[in-house]
Amino acid sequence: MIPVEYYIILSAILFTIGVTGVLVRRNALIIFMSIELMLNAANLAIVAFSSVLKSFSGQIFVFFVIAVAAAEVAVGLALIVEIFKTKHSIDVDQMNSLKG
């Protein structure tokens, strides 16, 4: 048997790697993938808790999260494509015209 703490620590590590990816990488696609990683980490924690609590609510939340993530990825990738069409780059550091 595996204590729930192990899953939580694993979830935290994966989440942190996702955060680091968002902050460190300049490629918009990889940033997007890091966000998906963070969502996965959160999902993992939720499922773990759901398992401990013997409840289906957690699994249903994760199901919704996956559905929303799918929609998000579809819209997000469409936006990246559009940006690339105008800027010919997907480097987020190039997209800084919206500033004070």
Q: Which amino acid is at 62?
A: V
Distance CA 96, CA 59 (A): 39
| CA–CA separation, 38 and 13 (whole Å) | 10
The tokens for 12 are 């935290």
| Closest of 34, 39, 30 to residue 63, by C-alpha | 39
Write down the least CB distance from residue 73 to another protein, Å.
5
Give least dist CB 61 to another protein, A: 9
Q: How far is the CB of 51 from another protein (least distance, A)?
A: 4
